[in-house]
């Protein structure tokens, strides 16, 4: 049904290298591309580090790790995807960036190639319409961190064929992911619920209801969440949280999805979380310190 052998991943960041990681472990050949050699180097270092951690936990052997790493090829050229059977875009959560990637990739890949996006909020139908094969286009929303999280949201666009859907499900099964079907509405299921909660936590901080530490402690111990919402926001990336809230606000035209001004301010300052060392917490020392 699937006949997938080579998986292309566009983007070597947190999500992209995670998708490459699990695909290689599942036995696929992987081509991971990015515009930056440094990004590719960092992506491969993350994959090796995360696989080594799994080996230490006896999830698989060192030989299996070496075999999986050997399956991953990297390049800064989009032409490296010319023989892929499935290409998954995992670039920044900006519609214009993703649309340009898909326009470019359609000039490279053969007619048999399926296209997928890892978008966490943007319309699958809209992205598919920028390609020459909307019937072979689908949303595969992996959760972060990809090697640990079991869920993949599968989102069909208006034109997505049944064959493409079944191929996506077969791919997810081989990766040992559990799938849930989401309709093509802004932010799908997980982020439709999760990110407004984070935004409300930022409002609680903005309005002085609690401090960073008290808000996170309250939700960890009062709601049994594994981490507080502001810690989670830093982990996701405040820029990504803001982008998702903007998609929800624009797409659903409801004021309850208005991004908190404090979230906007942090993103404008470049304090977007763990990936830059500062967000609602400062990560430059031995332990995270609240920045507000």
pLDDT score, position 249: 97
pLDDT score, position 123: 96
Those residues with Cβ within 8 angstroms of residue 212's Cβ, 6 or more apart along the chain or in another chain = 205, 230, 280, 281, 290, 291, 292
Taking 70 as the pLDDT cut, the residues of the chain under it are 1-2
* Cβ atoms 75, 33 nearer than 8 A: yes
Catalytic residue among 17, 23, 120, 243: 120
75 is an annotated ligand-binding site residue: no
Smallest Cα–Cα separation from 140: which of 109, 159, 168? 168
Structure tokens at 146: 């990809």
Catalytic residue among 50, 121, 191, 199: 191
pLDDT score, position 2: 55
Unique residue bearing structure tokens 């689908």 = 138
pLDDT per residue as tens digits for the range 150-207:
999 999 999 999 999 999 999 999 999 999 999 999 999 999 999 999 999 999 999 9
pTM of the full structure: 0.90
Give yes or no: 141 in active site.
yes
pLDDT score, position 3: 85
15 is an annotated ligand-binding site residue: yes
93 is an annotated ligand-binding site residue: yes
Give yes or no: 50 in active site.
no
pLDDT score, position 55: 97
Q: What structural domains and CATH numbers belong to the chain?
A: 6-183 (3.40.50.720), 192-290 (1.10.1040.10)
């Amino acid at each position: 049904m699937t006949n997938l052998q080579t998986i292309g991943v566009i983007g070597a960041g947190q999500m992209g290298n995670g998708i490459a990681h699990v695909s290689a472990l599942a036995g696929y050949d992987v081509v991971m591309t990015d515009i930056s050699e440094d990004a590719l180097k960092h992506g491969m270092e993350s994959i090796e580090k995360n696989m080594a951690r799994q080996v230490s936990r006896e999830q698989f052997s060192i030989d299996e790790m070496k075999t999986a790493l050997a399956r991953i090829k990297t390049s800064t050229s989009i032409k490296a995807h010319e023989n892929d059977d499935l290409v998954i875009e995992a670039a920044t959560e900006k519609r214009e960036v993703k649309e340009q990637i898909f326009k470019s990739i359609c000039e490279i890949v053969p007619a048999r190639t399926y296209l997928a996006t890892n978008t966490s909020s943007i319309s699958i139908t809209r992205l598919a319409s920028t390609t020459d094969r909307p019937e072979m286009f689908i949303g595969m929303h992996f959760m972060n961190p990809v090697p640990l999280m079991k869920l993949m949201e599968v989102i069909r666009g208006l034109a997505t064929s049944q064959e493409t859907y079944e191929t996506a499900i077969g791919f997810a099964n081989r990766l040992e992911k559990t799938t849930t079907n989401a309709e093509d509405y802004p932010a799908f299921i997980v982020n439709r619920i999760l990110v407004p909660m984070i935004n409300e936590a930022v409002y609680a901080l903005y309005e002085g209801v609690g401090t960073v530490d008290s808000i996170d402690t309250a939700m960890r111990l009062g709601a049994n969440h594994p981490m507080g919402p502001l810690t989670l926001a830093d982990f996701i990336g405040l820029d990504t949280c803001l982008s998702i809230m903007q998609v929800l606000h624009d797409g659903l035209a409801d004021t309850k999805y208005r991004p908190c001004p404090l979230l906007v301010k942090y993103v404008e300052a470049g304090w977007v979380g763990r990936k830059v060392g500062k967000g609602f917490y400062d990560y430059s020392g031995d332990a995270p310190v609240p920045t507000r």
